Chains A and B, each alone.
Chain A
Amino acid sequence: MNSALLQFANWLAEQPVSIDLHESFYLYNWIETTHVMTLMVSLGMLAVIDLRLLGVCLANVPASRIAQRLDKPMLIGFSVMLITGVLLFTAIPVRTTQSLWFRIKMILLVAACINAWLFRRKMVEAAQTWDLEPKPPRRMRVAGAVSLALWSGVIITGRFIAYDWFDCGGNNPAFVDWAAGCLAAQ
């Protein structure tokens, strides 16, 4: 699988769009800036919803109302995140494919999405029962805390991609090279 991923990354790196993104100082940095600033919309909205689930913000407003009303801005934010994220990957595909942090980030991202999906279903089912309670039931509070923790992990590993600590070809422990999917010099 690692060689297939690398093959795809190598192919992508040769495409004009990848080269253009990579070589343009302003274009690349503005995409990066948009990616970071959209944190305020996507994870910002999510944080408010999760804080309501924990019962520490807007506790006197029904939880389902907060979640529903902030759903659209949050999804718009996540869409922008996704588009700019794909562009950032397109600009630097080979290094990113073999980045340990990028790989951990993708795993956390999938976990956070599964958590959000499960939570969404529970939210619809439970809206009639605990909606008005300032402090939601324990399992909802756990879902909120898990969500905040997973997304914090996504932010940390995302920021770490920019550092070259564990780049392939460095003096890394064997398991790091294995996890990052480093292949012999290409």
Chain B
Amino acid sequence: MLFAFFEWLEQSALGVFVKDQAATFAIIEAVHLMGLALLGGTVIVQDLRLLNVAMRDVPANVVTEQAHRWFKVGLWILLITGVPMLAGVATKCYHNPFYWTKMIALAVGILFVFTLKQPLLREDPATLKPVTLKLLALASLSIWTLVAASGRWIGFSG
């Protein structure tokens, strides 16, 4: 059932379009990497601030709120370029453990950011313990590192 969906995706107009020309896939990949730089940069800026490593003289809520806006831009770039990349090699990805590792980590990452991290950070900073902030930052760095690394490894094992 799930595999049928991957087969359909690869044979869809989008899948054929991406597969037919190697250049299409490569250009989409490059834009995907730009999205990675933006998403990763905005995650790291926030987390370094929460860990008190960088930008200590800028209020944490200013950093996390402003960087989160561009985090969302980065995430959209990655999702919009990620779908055609998957479409081009869907059946290969279905059998690729790194693909599934990445998708699960990505789902965890998105849920973590939008249902836990950002709602908590929007609360009164005084109510949050410093250790909570640091744990949030470490969890965030770990999840997005895993997403990025397993994403890169999809290509090595194909």
**A binding-site residues for B, Cβ under 8 Å:** 25, 29, 32-33, 36-37, 39-41, 43-48, 51, 57-58, 60-61, 65-66, 69-70, 72-73, 152, 155-156, 159-160, 163, 165
Which residue of chain A lies nearest to B148 when distances are taken between CB atoms in the complex?
A37
Residues of A within 8 A of B137 (CB): none
Within the complex, the shortest CB–CB distance from A74 to chain B, in Å, comes to 9
Within the complex, the shortest CB–CB distance from B77 to chain A, in Å, comes to 12
Q: Is the CB of A44 within 8 A of B40?
A: yes
6 inter-chain pairs at a CB distance below 8 angstroms, sorted by A residue, are A40-B44, A44-B43, A61-B58, A72-B54, A73-B54, A159-B30
On whether A61 and B62 interact (CB within 8 A), knowing A45-B45, A163-B26, the answer reads yes
Q: Is the CB of B33 within 8 A of A159?
A: yes
Within the complex, the shortest CB–CB distance from B27 to chain A, in Å, comes to 7
Q: Is the CB of A73 within 8 A of B44?
A: yes
Complex Cα–Cα for A139 and B149 (A): 37
Q: Is the CB of A160 within 8 A of B44?
A: no
Residues of B within 8 A of A47 (CB): 37-38, 41-42, 70
The answer, yes or no, to whether B123 is at the interface (CB within 8 Å) is no
On whether A57 and B57 interact (CB within 8 A), knowing A33-B153, A40-B44, A47-B41, the answer reads no
Query: For this complex, into which size category does the number of interface residues on chain B fall?
Result: 35 or more
The answer, yes or no, to whether B34 is at the interface (CB within 8 Å) is yes
The answer, yes or no, to whether B67 is at the interface (CB within 8 Å) is yes
Residue interface mask B124-158, A partner, CB < 8 A = 1: 00000000000000000000110011001100100
* A-B CB pair tally, cutoff 8 Å: 105
Q: Is the CB of A40 within 8 A of B37?
A: yes
Q: Is the CB of A44 within 8 A of B34?
A: no
One of A41, A57, A70 near B66 (C-beta < 8 A) = A57
Q: Is the interface of B mostly helix, strand, loop or mixed?
A: helix
Q: Is the CB of A33 within 8 A of B38?
A: no
Within the complex, the shortest CB–CB distance from B62 to chain A, in Å, comes to 7
Residues of B within 8 A of A160 (CB): 26, 30
On whether A48 and B57 interact (CB within 8 A), knowing A39-B40, A159-B29, the answer reads no
Q: Is the CB of B67 within 8 A of A57?
A: yes
Q: Is the CB of B22 within 8 A of A36?
A: no
Q: Is the CB of B57 within 8 A of A155?
A: no
Which residue of chain A lies nearest to B66 when distances are taken between CB atoms in the complex?
A58
Complex Cα–Cα for A37 and B145 (A): 8
Q: Is the CB of B34 within 8 A of A36?
A: no
Residues of A within 8 A of B63 (CB): 58
